[in-house]
Structure 1
Amino acid sequence: MSEQMQTVNEDELQAYADGQLDEKRCAEVAAWLASHPVEAGRVEDCRRQNEALHALFDPVLDEPVPPRLQRPAPASWHGMSLLRHAAVVAWLTIGGTIGWFLHGTQDVHSGTTMAFVRQAAVAHVVYTPEVRHPVEVGAEQEAHLVAWLSKRLGVSVKAPHLSEAGYELVGGRLLPGSSGPAAQFMYQDGRGQRLTLYVRTDGGDSRETAFRYARENNIGVFYWIDGPLGYALSGDLEKTELLKVAQAVYHQLNP
């Protein structure tokens, strides 16, 4: 193996995942990844997340311009529509995408809470299509899964049992959150329909116990704060159906 092949750095891995390498270097990195399965899996996760982000947020380009933004564009924006410029800015700043993701939500909360909801939805879109590796730890190791996630989050977490609602635990995984580790539990019904429960610490205002709802691109999210934890249940279900499951989750966590 050449010296060049031995020195694939993080920037190149990210550029490879984003499709930004030239053809020659792309082939070299692909060959390197073939003998480094751990890094290959990480790069594939990045690609899936990119695809999920595009699926969630590209439609902003087709949205009508909100009335509050219908102002004359500065001269420096000549040749670019206001909406398209806003979309570019949104891709570069998390705050921009949060508002669009929550388009149609009646309850507006802090940017921190909105980021949490967005992270839950993106994680749902990224991992629910997986066939071979939808979770890190399967339901057959539930006790280990719960103990591991509780240790990493620094607070006791539970995996609700939702068989009465028609869903069985698939397993779970550890995810990065905006203020520390987060957990994701995945559930599936007899038709293969999947739901995910995203759990994070530092829930903010513990008084916000009521369910809140957001929906974009067929992904509904019910979210709520319970003491030190924030929960977000995501799924491609009608609001009333998702609410039933969210209530079942809440009662499981608060018997």
Structure 2
Amino acid sequence: MSTSNPPITDAELHAWVDDQLAPIDRERVAAALARDPSLRELAEHYLGQNEDLRRRFSCATDEPAPGRLLQAAMAPAGSRLGRLAGLAAALLLGVGAGWFAHGNFSQPSGPNGESMASGAGAVALPLPRAAVVAHAAYAPEVRHPVEVRADDEAHLVAWLSKRLGTRLSIPDLRQHGFSLVGGRLLPDAIGSVAAQFMFESGTGQRLTLFVRRDSSGADTAFRFAKTDGLTSFFWIDRGFGYALSAEMPRETMLELAGAVHAQTSP
């Protein structure tokens, strides 16, 4: 008879993090965490994500979860962190949309980067909110902050340009102390997509540039927004919305936004 311990599954680890296990199973997972540093690191990562979600979106925790998120949670597990990141992004976007639908935030339209999508029950997050939600989902990631890394920049640009239907350019911010980490494709609004580029300073400070199509029409100058400690400058240029987000002072972000604008809109 084997005395080896069965491996801890992703489902069990998430249930442990969410305090949803029976006492005997919780003890088994705790024992496995004590033996396995890599499993313990992953559990701490999940706990940190839960805490970040609670901190940033505590006012929406009593709202019922959308059906599509429940379906995603019940789907067969794929890659461990890749699926987790996707579900975290879906949760953040769903929570944000729920806030707007329940009137917790105003829903302006027009040339301010805050256009609302059409369709029954469909709500597109305003540009700065969508950018902040995406930043909060991926900037804390250690192992998988991006889908395509900077060492494959040519592929990253070609891929995201094709998906957004325009020729994208990635700004060079090294003179400002930030190097490209990479980028990823994100869902946005109704059946549309957005691009996120991530940059990092020598001290680990992360900055993200969010780009999506915008049908509001007129180009705009820089606009400023601050949400939950995150600073954003956003603008509309030739049918596309741009939003730069980070936890940095307004003056620093304005300088960086100017550098991004100069390189993406020559």
Please report the TM-score for the alignment, with normalisation by the length of structure 2: 0.61
Q: 1:164 to 1:17 in 2, by over 3 A?
A: farther
Counterparts of 1:17 and 1:94, CA distance in 2: 28
Residue 23 of structure 1, CA deviation: 3.9
Partner of 2:185: 174
Partner of 1:213: 224
Over the aligned positions, Cα root-mean-square deviation in angstroms equals: 4.1
Q: 1:17 to 1:193 in 2, by over 3 A?
A: same
Q: Which of structure 1's runs of 4+ aligned residues deviate more than 6 A?
A: 44-49
SS in 2 for 1:200: strand
Q: 1:23 to 1:176 in 2, by over 3 A?
A: farther
Partner of 1:58: 58
1:160 aligns with 2:166: no
Partner of 2:259: 248
Spell out, residue by residue over 1:172-203, the C-alpha distance to the aligned partner (whole angstroms, 9 max, x if none): 011111131111100011111110001112x1
Spell out, residue by residue over 1:19-58, the C-alpha distance to the aligned partner (whole angstroms, 9 max, x if none): 496649x98xx9xxxxxxxxxxxxx999877654432232
Spell out, residue by residue over 1:88-110, the C-alpha distance to the aligned partner (whole angstroms, 9 max, x if none): xx87823047628x9xxxx7944
SS in 2 for 1:93: helix
Residue 233 of structure 1, CA deviation: 0.6
Spell out, residue by residue over 1:104-151, the C-alpha distance to the aligned partner (whole angstroms, 9 max, x if none): xxx794445753322211111121111221111111100000101111
1:232 aligns with 2:243: yes
SS in 2 for 1:233: strand
Greater alpha carbon shift after TM alignment, 229-238 vs 113-122: 113-122
Partner of 1:94: 99
Structure 1 stretches lacking a partner, 5+ long: 1-11, 31-43, 62-89
Greater alpha carbon shift after TM alignment, 238-247 vs 116-125: 116-125
Write out aligned runs for 1:96-175 (5 A): 96=102, 99=105, 109-111=114-116, 114-175=125-186
Residue 227 of structure 1, CA deviation: 1.5
Give the aligned length.
203
Counterparts of 1:235 and 1:200, CA distance in 2: 18
SS in 1 for 2:256: helix
Partner of 2:211: 199
Residue 157 of structure 1, CA deviation: 1.6
Is the 2:219–2:238 Cα contact (8 Å) retained in structure 1?
no
Greater alpha carbon shift after TM alignment, 243-252 vs 45-54: 45-54
Counterparts of 2:113 and 2:197, CA distance in 1: 26
Q: 1:115 to 1:160 in 2, by over 3 A?
A: same
Counterparts of 2:224 and 2:149, CA distance in 1: 28
Is the 1:49–1:122 Cα contact (8 Å) retained in structure 2?
no
Counterparts of 2:241 and 2:19, CA distance in 1: 36
Q: Percent identity, aligned pairs only? A: 42
Residue 226 of structure 1, CA deviation: 1.1
Counterparts of 2:15 and 2:130, CA distance in 1: 23
Structure 2 stretches lacking a partner, 5+ long: 1-10, 30-43, 62-94, 118-123
Is the 2:113–2:216 Cα contact (8 Å) retained in structure 1?
no
1:187 aligns with 2:199: yes
Q: 1:156 to 1:18 in 2, by over 3 A?
A: farther
